[in-house]
Amino acid sequence: MEAAGIQSLFADIGGRFCVPAADIQAKLKKVKAFIFDWDGVFNDGSKRDLTGSGFSEPDAMGTNMLRFSYWLQNKSLPITAIITGEENESALFLGNRERFTSLYFKASNKLKSFEHLLIANKLQSHEVAFVFDDVLDLAVAAQCGVRIAVHRKTNPLFNQFIIENKISDYLTGQSGGNQSVREACELMIGLYGNYNEAVSNRMQFSDLYKEYLAQRQQIETAIYTGIS
């Protein structure tokens, strides 16, 4: 499907393109890393005892399929990370299970964690796609190559701010906790142009998918707390 068709499809579910889908597609060609905020992105930000805020399996599958889509194009794994202001057991569980590259907890100044990630993985900021939702994320989002903001109806001024200041390329139609991560991941896979190939290989548990999975499972997730 062409970028214009992808744009129409996602606009139909309420997604808002701050730049044309074709522009996001062009920027994705340079991306080598996917970073996610946690609270308000994988969930609605609500807290539950010591486990903190949770996640949904559709969102988790979205991150896996995005990495597989990238792998099919590049035959290498992207850097994948979570940067969050809290220390969250659910984020730790997901990151370890899915073998993310790194997890950054207690990131009160997320820019410091972001800079650490860039140096540790020899990345430039324009090589990063970032899925975020709130004020604490803006310093990072402003530097990234692809910026996907999770939409909330309750902060129209914030939504207007990130659009006017060109800090977002796309606002999701769904809010955090309603599979907004899956939406962001499917958008990027669609713009990579290999959605059907990725899904078909995963459906058949093909040799290609097994090769990808074997490489993914070799990752030892690095965990950082309180970088400042």
DSSP for 194-223 reads -HHHHHHHHHHT-HHHHHHHHHHHT---EE
What pLDDT was estimated at residue 51? Answer: 61
Residue 176 neighbours by CB under 8 Å, 6+ apart? 39, 40, 41, 42, 43, 44, 45, 133, 150, 152
What pLDDT was estimated at residue 50? Answer: 61
Residue 207, both tokens: 């040799």
What pLDDT was estimated at residue 47? Answer: 77
Residue 119 neighbours by CB under 8 Å, 6+ apart? none
Is the C-alpha dihedral spanning 21, 202, 67, 56 positive or negative? positive
Q: Is 197 exposed, middle or buried (0-12, 13-18, 19+ CB in 10 A)?
A: middle
Task: Give me the phi and psi of 37, to 5 degrees please.
Answer: -70, 170
What pLDDT was estimated at residue 212? Answer: 98
What pLDDT was estimated at residue 32? Answer: 98
What pLDDT was estimated at residue 49? Answer: 65
List Cα–Cα distances, 67 to 63, 143, 149, 202, 218, in angstroms.
Answer: 6, 22, 19, 12, 14
Read off the amino acid at residue 196: N
Global confidence as pTM: 0.96
CATH code, 3-122+136-222: 3.40.50.1000
What pLDDT was estimated at residue 53? Answer: 86
Domain extents for the chain? 3-122+136-222
- Could you report the per-residue pLDDT of 182-214, keeping only the tens digit for each? 999 999 999 999 999 999 999 999 999 999 999
For residue 142, give the DSSP letter.
Answer: T
Residues in the chain predicted with pLDDT less than 70, given as ranges, are: 49-52
Identify which of 109, 147, 154, 143 has the alpha carbon closest to the alpha carbon of residue 130: 147
- Alpha carbons within 13 angstroms on the beta-carbon side of residue 181 total 27
